[in-house]
Amino acid sequence: MPPVSRRGDVKGFLPRIAWGVLSANPLSYMINPVKLPETAKILVIRLGSVGDVVRTLPAISALRACYPRATIDWVIQELSADVVRSVRDVDNVIVLPRKRWVRMIRKPVFYPRLIKEITGWIRALRRRRYDTVLDFHGILKSGIIGVVSGAGRRVGFKKGYCKEFNFLFNRIHVDPGDPRLNRVYKNLEMVHAVGCDLPLPKVWLTPSEKDFERIDAFWSEISPVRSPVIAIQPSSSKNTDFKRWFPDRYARLCDTLVETLGATIILTWGPGGRKAVEEIQGLMTQPAHIACSTSLMELSALFKRCDMYIGGDTGPMHLACFSGLPAVVIYGPTDARVNAPYPHSLHRVVRVDIPCSPCRDKTCVRLDCMKMITPEMVFKEAVSLWETARKMEPSPSVAGREVAVRS
């Protein structure tokens, strides 16, 4: 047994973390799948943003299909918790209250309370007695959570496919084989490692009736609505300006869609994105509607009401694809292979092939990869997608297996 205090105080947890690192073998790459017990208690760790979270859902669906009697719990940060709560394949959602803890760290007066909350959270996690951890996130924080959970079987990605020395915390290491593998398929490799050798499932988010209530009210406000109804998401998350196409080009594209197709334009936005959609609306000569504020599952409900999505490589794009909405995706510096839309979704990719793209330079001011994408290029793909989508019955979200919501 590792040298850990049974009281669960901070001094006890630190030796457990050290023991977890020392007992892991960073060279133990996965050769043959490990079959889990039928009633395994599995902890999934994927803490991050909505795009990363929804791209983990097919892997969890496959895991549930292979282990219908297992307990599958998921540790998630606050932002995307509602998405995971809506999925019936997950038994329990364990929220890591990162935002609150970060606020407390900034004020020493809260340190005693912070220590009490963290140790209490860890005790509650350990009481669940997990035997297996699947660390999809692959960072220092997720590695520590895996160790303090007490699970003996900790599965993560091998060195080179994770960050911040995460591989040191896991005992079984998965080799995805291709650094540019689509994230959806990379996540599927994790469950292949535990004996779940299934093809990529069709998984579609299904918002609840409550999620639709707010959207139905918004729809009545903008009525009458003419098809095609096109959701445009111009903004991205904080500190990702390099992913954003230009407001004047979005405005020209929207005007063309209205003038040529008679489209109804709905400008969607998330935290900090209201000013971006207001700017685009102000630049347009044709009418456009600014969406109401939404939760993530309400946004999925809004996407269900639309005919098409247009936007950049963002979390809402992945949410739209997993909601069954045909999407035109504008890629600049980000890798269109690694961050490709859900393979089972109907989509078009717009990008230019230049030597410096894709890149990881978030400070680039030239942005040639974005400047070379014109409204006419995006419009052409939108028309092609609209014509294809109209011929498809039923829609992808109906044809595929839907992720059932909790009652």
Taking residues 158-172, what's their average pLDDT? 96
Of 28 and 139, the one with more pLDDT = 139
Same domain, 271 and 149: no
Q: Which pLDDT score, from 0 to 100, does residue 239 have? A: 76
Looking at the structure, do residues 162 and 277 belong to the same domain, yes or no? Answer: no
| Pairing mode of beta strands 153-157, 132-135 | parallel
Residue numbers of the domain that contains 333: 209-403
Range 279-298 average pLDDT? 98
Q: Are residues 217 and 322 in the same domain?
A: yes
Q: Both ends of the chain: CA-CA distance in Å?
A: 42
Give Dmax (Cα) for the chain.
Answer: 71
Dump pLDDT digits (tens) for 189-241.
999 999 999 999 999 999 999 999 999 999 999 999 999 999 999 988 777 77
Residues 42 and 109 in one domain: yes
**E-state strands within 25-138:** 41-45, 71-77, 92-96, 132-135
Is 215 part of any domain?
A: yes
pLDDT interval class at 17 (50, 70, 90): low
Say how far apart CA 168 and CA 171 lie, in whole Å. Answer: 8
Domain match, 238 and 180 both: no
**pLDDT tens, 324-371?**
999 999 999 999 999 999 999 999 999 999 999 999 788 888 899 999
Assigned domain for 2 exists: no
Q: Cβ of 166: how many Cβ atoms within 10 Å?
A: 24
Q: Which of 164, 184, 201 is the last residue of a domain?
A: 201
Mean of pLDDT values over 155-162: 96
* CA dist., res. 181 & res. 246, Å (int): 28
pLDDT of 8 reads 41
Domain of 135: which CATH number?
3.40.50.2000
Let me know whether 153 and 297 are in one domain. Answer: no
pLDDT over 90 (residue 24) = no
Spatial contact of 384 and 366, defined as CB atoms under 8 Å apart: no
What residues are paired with 289 via a beta bridge?
266
Give the position of tokens 């595929």. Answer: 400
d(CA 153, CA 42): 10
Domain boundary among 201, 224, 246: 201
Q: Are residues 188 and 273 in the same domain?
A: no
**Alpha carbon of 244 to those of 118, 247, 278, 325: distances in Å?**
37, 9, 15, 21
CA–CA separation, 328 vs 317, rounded Å?
Answer: 9
306 within domain boundaries: yes
Task: Say which residue, 62 or 391, is predicted with more confidence.
Answer: 62
Question: Is there a contact between 269 and 275 (Cβ–Cβ < 8 Å)?
Answer: no
The residue assigned the tokens 């599965």 is 155
Percent of the chain with pLDDT over 70: 89
**Domain check: are 57 and 180 in the same one?**
yes
Residue 108 domain-assigned (yes or no): yes
| Structure tokens that stand for 69 in this block | 């009697």
The answer on 316 and 354 residing in a single domain is yes
Is residue 272 assigned to a domain? yes
Domain assignment present for 5: no
**DSSP letters along 48-65, please?**
S-HHHHHTTHHHHHHHHH
**Whole-number Å distance between alpha carbons of 172 and 193:** 9
Q: Considering the domain boundaries, does residue 42 fall inside one? A: yes
250 plus 392 within the same structural domain: yes
Domain count, the chain: 2
Regarding whether 217 and 181 lie in a shared domain, the answer is: no
Beta bridge partner(s), residue 239: none
Whether 174 and 310 share a structural domain? no
Last residue of a domain, one of 168, 201, 234: 201
Residue 4 in domain: no
Q: How confident is the model at residue 402 (pLDDT cuts 50, 70, 90)?
A: very low
